[in-house]
């Protein structure tokens, strides 16, 4: 009895070298797809979904997430990008390229009859040594290193849609983070920072608001348009009469009883509003509804009111203003109130929005993003998000390294020295791993229209001549000191990229059999066509 006799005829199987070759090919194809997006001179991809919606970006994880990938190994490579995004927020393209190159170099050793377990052992040794080397060559950063933080932002934005306004945007991001950080406590919740997009103006019009911006309007025109020294009440409960939730029958024998019944409802609403007034609040934000009569009473008392605010915005308002979220009218008191210097409804590109600004110790802030089209705004938001995450992860782990390919050249050189201390075939695996790391400066050069072979040779020459951080200047092909030029990246991004890429590469190398139910259509005949 053969294997074919026990497997369904609707099942495909790839064994041994064929399975490894197909898996490695899929990984290389994914890396090949996004490698042109890497670096300051990286190109964008236009993605069009089945509904005709367009995304233009060079963000690795966005590209891979939107692609319709079917091959199982290719999906594993996509997971690298997703993991990188969730863990550190940046370096997704780098992680995928590393994985593709590790497997490409490993394939050459497989053809030389080196067993996969030897490669796995060598890759594990190389990854552990890389962690040690990277930690040793990194340097410290703190919340007080404003210039370094700005440099990190600018490095992250270079090559993206935000590049031409990176100085302006970097200062906004750094100021935003510094505003909400206290006592060098750098464990920052990224959800505390809100990005609000608004079409119109230019990227340079993007601004930081030391509070919250709401895409809402005040309830009545008769309410004040601007409130100075705002005492803010935030409610998660409705300010309206509750509907009866069960069948009820009211027997009325006198027409005056109708009015009495209605008056009773108004009295309940008035009592609720009176509690708000007695608390001293002059601005009210409500997550749910506000009754028409309540709106009238609030307006009569010169109170600025907004309703149907999202739970997310309610929480951000609380963090920004210091107000407690009240879920019961009876719990309202003076201590529940928050503060903002100004609450104002203003026009932004012919659209009314509410600014809550001038908060005393805001734990949440808003960045208002401006740009010519929705596609531009979305790309700017992705660039800002990556940069913000780079700042946060840098401050959390307090270590950075230099970019421009310098860290990869140094790491590869140190790994090759380490490989020479090993005996056996693991040495070849470590050398293969080291050579794969050099792919980053190679692609940076290639995407800039430079000769990668010449650039890599020049970088190594400068390194051996004593230049500490030899990086490539993609503008003219010269070799620069990346640290002097302020090209900085978080250490954690590099560590995570190497870790994720190595783990997936090892998993793929250890796979010598792929058994899959047949879901192919038409004339497609093997797993390699699923990608």
DSSP-assigned states of every residue in 382-398: HHHHHHHHHHHHHHHHT
Closest CA to 94 of 531, 495, 503, 409: 495
* Per-position b or e across 72-81, b if 16+ CB within 10 A of its CB: bbbebbbebb
Q: What is the rounded CA–CA span in Å between residue 458 and residue 451?
A: 11
Predicted local confidence at residue 521, as pLDDT: 45
Average pLDDT of the segment spanning 63-80: 82
In eight-state DSSP terms, residue 449 is: T
Domains of the chain, each with CATH number or no CATH: 3-140+401-523 (1.10.560.10), 212-361 (3.50.7.10)
List, for residues 222-251, the tens digit of each pLDDT value. Answer: 999 999 999 999 998 888 766 544 455 556
Q: Which residues contact 153 (CB under 8 A, 6 or more apart)?
A: 166, 169, 170, 173, 174, 387, 390, 391
Instruction: Give the least confident one: 185-189, 313-317, 489-493.
Output: 185-189
CA angle 103, 444, 162 (to 5 degrees): 120
Q: What is the rounded CA–CA span in Å between residue 452 and residue 446?
A: 6
Q: What is the rounded CA–CA span in Å between residue 310 and residue 42?
A: 38
Catalytic residue numbers? Answer: 59, 92-93, 386
Mean per-residue pLDDT over the chain, rounded: 83
Average pLDDT of the segment spanning 312-337: 88
**Given the DSSP bridges, would you call strands 212-214 and 351-357 parallel, antiparallel or unpaired?**
antiparallel
SS3 category, 442: helix
Assign 10 a pLDDT band (cuts: 50, 70, 90): low
Which of the two residues, 349 and 100, has the higher pLDDT score?
100
Contact 60, 382 (CB under 8 A): no
Closest CA to 123 of 426, 439, 494: 426
* Per-position b or e across 243-281, b if 16+ CB within 10 A of its CB: eeeeeeeeeeeeeeeeeeeeeeeeeebeebbebbeebeb
- Give the pair of three-digit tokens for residue 365: 């802030």
- Give the pair of three-digit tokens for residue 358: 């001038």
Q: What is the rounded CA–CA span in Å between residue 50 and residue 360?
A: 47
List, for residues 395-427, the tens digit of each pLDDT value. Answer: 888 899 998 889 999 999 999 999 988 888 889
- The percentage of the chain sitting over the pLDDT mark of 90, rounded to a whole number, equals 23
Predicted local confidence at residue 16, as pLDDT: 59
Predicted local confidence at residue 458, as pLDDT: 92
Q: What is the rounded CA–CA span in Å between residue 61 and residue 93?
A: 7
Which position has the token pair 């080397």?
133
Average pLDDT of the segment spanning 369-377: 86
From the DSSP assignment, how many helices (H) and strands (E) are in the chain? 17, 19
Radius of gyration of the chain (CA): 30
Predicted local confidence at residue 85, as pLDDT: 83
pTM of the model: 0.81
Contact 102, 123 (CB under 8 A): yes
- Give the pair of three-digit tokens for residue 100: 């593709």
Q: Is 427 exposed, middle or buried (0-12, 13-18, 19+ CB in 10 A)?
A: middle
């Amino acid at each position: 009895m053969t294997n074919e006799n026990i497997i369904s005829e609707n099942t495909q199987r790839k064994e041994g070298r064929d399975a490894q070759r197909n898996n490695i090919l899929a990984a290389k194809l994914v890396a090949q797809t996004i490698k042109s997006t890497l670096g300051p001179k990286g190109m964008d991809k236009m993605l069009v979904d089945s509904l005709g919606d367009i995304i233009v970006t060079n963000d690795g994880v966005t590209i891979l997430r939107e692609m319709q990938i079917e091959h199982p190994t290719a999906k594993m490579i996509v997971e690298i990008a997703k993991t990188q995004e969730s863990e550190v927020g940046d370096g997704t393209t780098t992680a995928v390229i590393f994985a593709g190159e590790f497997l490409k170099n490993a394939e050459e050793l497989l053809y030389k009859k080196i067993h996969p377990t030897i490669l796995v052992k060598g890759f594990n040794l190389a990854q552990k040594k890389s962690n040690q080397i990277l930690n040793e060559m990194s340097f410290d950063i703190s919340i007080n290193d404003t210039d370094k933080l700005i440099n990190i932002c600018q490095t992250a934005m270079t090559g993206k849609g935000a590049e031409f306004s990176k100085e302006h945007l970097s200062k906004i991001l750094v100021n935003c983070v510094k505003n909400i950080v206290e006592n060098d406590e750098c464990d920052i919740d990224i959800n505390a920072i809100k990005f609000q997009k608004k079409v119109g103006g230019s990227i340079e019009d993007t601004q930081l608001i030391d509070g919250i911006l709401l895409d809402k309007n005040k309830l009545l025109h008769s309410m004040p348009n601007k409130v100075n020294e705002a005492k803010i009440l935030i409610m998660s409960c409705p300010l309206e009469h509750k509907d009866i939730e069960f069948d009820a029958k009211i027997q009325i024998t006198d027409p005056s009883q109708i009015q009495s019944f209605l008056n009773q409802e108004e009295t309940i609403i008035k009592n609720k509003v009176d509690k708000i007034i007695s608390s001293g609040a002059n601005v009210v934000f409500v997550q749910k509804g506000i009754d028409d009569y309540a709106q009238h009473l609030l307006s009569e008392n010169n109170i600025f009111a907004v309703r149907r605010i999202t739970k997310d915005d309610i929480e951000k308002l609380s963090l920004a203003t210091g107000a407690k979220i009240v879920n019961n009218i009876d719990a309202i008191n003076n201590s529940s109130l928050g503060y903002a210097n100004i609450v104002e409804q203003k026009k932004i590109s012919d659209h009314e929005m509410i600014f809550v600004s001038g908060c005393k110790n805001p734990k949440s802030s808003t960045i208002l993003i401006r740009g010519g089209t929705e596609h531009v705004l979305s790309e700017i938001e992705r660039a800002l998000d990556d940069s913000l995450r780079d700042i946060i992860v840098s401050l959390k782990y307090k270590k950075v390294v230099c970019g421009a390919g310098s860290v990869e050249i140094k790491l590869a050189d140190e790994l090759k020295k380490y490989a020479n201390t090993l005996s056996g075939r693991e040495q070849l695996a470590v050398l293969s791993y080291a050579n794969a790391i050099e792919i980053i400066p190679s692609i940076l050069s290639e995407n800039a229209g430079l000769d990668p072979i010449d650039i890599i040779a020049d970088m190594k020459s400068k390194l051996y001549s004593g230049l500490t951080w030899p990086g490539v200047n993609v503008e003219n092909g010269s070799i620069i000191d990346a640290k002097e030029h302020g090209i900085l990246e978080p250490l954690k991004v590099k560590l995570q990229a190497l870790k994720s890429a190595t783990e997936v590469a090892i998993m793929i190398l250890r796979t010598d059999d792929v058994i899959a139910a047949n879901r192919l259509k038409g004339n497609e005949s093997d797993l390699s066509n699923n990608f």
